[in-house]
Amino acid sequence: MEIATLAPILIVLLFAALAAGLWIGFALIVIGLVAMAAASSAPVTLVFATRVWGGLTVWDLTALPMFIWMGEILVRSRLSADMFAGLAPFTRYLPGRLLHVNVLGCALFAAVSGSSAATTATIGRMSVPELTARGYDPRIAIGSLAGSGTFGFLIPPSIIMIVYGAATEQSIARLFLAGLVPGLMLAVLFSGFIMLWATTHRSAMPADEPGSGDPRAVLRLLPVIGLIAAVIGSIYAGIASPTEAAVIGVAGALILASATGALGWRGAGEALIAATQTTCMIAFILAGAAFLTVAMGYTGIPRALAAWIGEMGLSPYALLAALTVFFVVMGMFLDGISIVVLTVSIIMPMVLEAGIDPIWFGVFLVLVVEMSQITPPVGFNLFVLQKITGRDILTLAAYAAPFFGLLVLAVALLSAFPQIALWLPGTMLN
């Protein structure tokens, strides 16, 4: 079958399968089977078994369940309460005051959870009631939380970066370090916007701030900072691989949770079960994506698409602009991990053909996927906030809109200055 005929058929079948409620992993396998049946005489069962086994027996993927487990342990500990109390003294003299706790708390928790939804849920449970009780405007209080929750994808250890690294055979250690400076840049942009908003909306700020916390509460930040330093520092120093660092993180999380008395045997069991369920879900998607990738190779669609893009003569910036729009539209219907595994096999040939660094592109992709977390109808951070606040999706999306704009600005800055992402991995190699 001709590529021009086969490609639209596969796209329609994929969206029909997803719309019918078929699990994403199953949907990818079905599309792969149809593609191979239409374009190749190769033994489908042999290719399927070989590719799925090869796709899942990747050593770097062993870091995935460990980082997920670490996050599940910390979600069930008193970490968020300690972070709120510890960060409050830092923010009392800044315009916006406790609103910055959303940004700083999410940045810190992202560095030990790796999940956008977990970051939003954990910090949101603590900050939303607290900020509401103190009289902060819900537009900025909830909006800043929606935007800051996306840090879970960018600031290492990032689950989605592990998935991208395994799918593209890139160094996960370098990807982790590449996401650190852009993550801090994004936190600065968000805090800067909060200060600007608070300065121009003085009437919407609480007139009289109750006590902003005991300065000695800063000491409660030391355990989580120590855990971050142990995980990220061991990777940067070359002492541990991402998998070994993940084990260090799990051990540290268990020690922290035990020391605070916040994790009993029941909580430990729940954390392990939740981590297992999440890992199996991601592994199933990766298995389907691995088979679909090799099936697409048999059809020749990625090569034809890359050649077509090359013939258009797009500059790298024009290509990135087109991909940004494409990923934002995809993000309106799919979650971040699904976007990565669905598109990476088709997108990467044209990205490499354009001379774009695959490590840099990983950070770019994560930033763009972050936007999808706060865009309806399928914005996972919005779903989490809907459960916490009881507000409808469209209202929450309107609250998050300014932070969506800041994510667009971050993508522009990253494109104009690639060393924002590439400088730190370069120092590690040196």
Q: What is the pTM of this model?
A: 0.75
Q: What is the DSSP letter of 205?
A: S
Among candidates 288, 381, 387, which has minimal Cα distance to 335?
A: 381
Give the residue-averaged pLDDT of 343-372: 86
pLDDT recorded at residue 3: 73
Mean pLDDT within 136-159: 87
Q: If pLDDT is split at 50, 70 and 90, which confidence band does 306 have?
A: low
Higher-confidence residue: 313 or 157? 157
Give the separation between CA 51 and CA 49, rounded to whole angstroms: 6
Burial of residue 409 (CB within 10 Å: 0-12, 13-18, 19+) is middle
Contact 141, 100 (CB under 8 A): no
68-77, 180-189, 198-207, 254-263 — which one is most confidently predicted on average?
A: 180-189
The whole-number pLDDT of residue 297 equals: 75
pLDDT value at 236 more than 80: no
Nearest to 295 by CA among 55, 15, 68, 126: 55
As a whole number, mean pLDDT of residues 234-253 equals 82
Write down the pLDDT at residue 90.
75
Q: What pLDDT does 307 receive?
A: 67
H helix intervals, 76-206? 79-91, 99-113, 116-133, 138-148, 151-154, 159-168, 172-200
Measure the CA dihedral 392/395/396/400, to 10°: 170
Q: Are 321 and 311 in contact (CB under 8 A)?
A: no
CA contacts within 13 A on the Cβ side of 335: 17
Res. 197 pLDDT band, cuts 50 70 90: very high
Taking 80 as the threshold, does the pLDDT of residue 114 lie above it?
Answer: no
Does residue 132 surpass a pLDDT of 80? yes
pLDDT bucket at 208, cuts 50 / 70 / 90: low
The mean pLDDT value for 28-54 works out to 84
- Measured distance CA(110)–CA(195) in Å, rounded: 22
Give Cα 11 distance to the centre of its chain: 25
Closest by alpha carbon to 147, among 81, 78, 197? 197
Q: What pLDDT score does 225 carry?
A: 80
Give the pLDDT mean for 297-309: 70
**Cα-based angle 45, 28, 346 (whole degrees, multiple of 5):** 105
Domain-wise residue ranges, the chain:
3-429
The pLDDT value given to residue 213? 54
Q: How far apart are CA 104 and CA 155, in angstroms?
A: 12
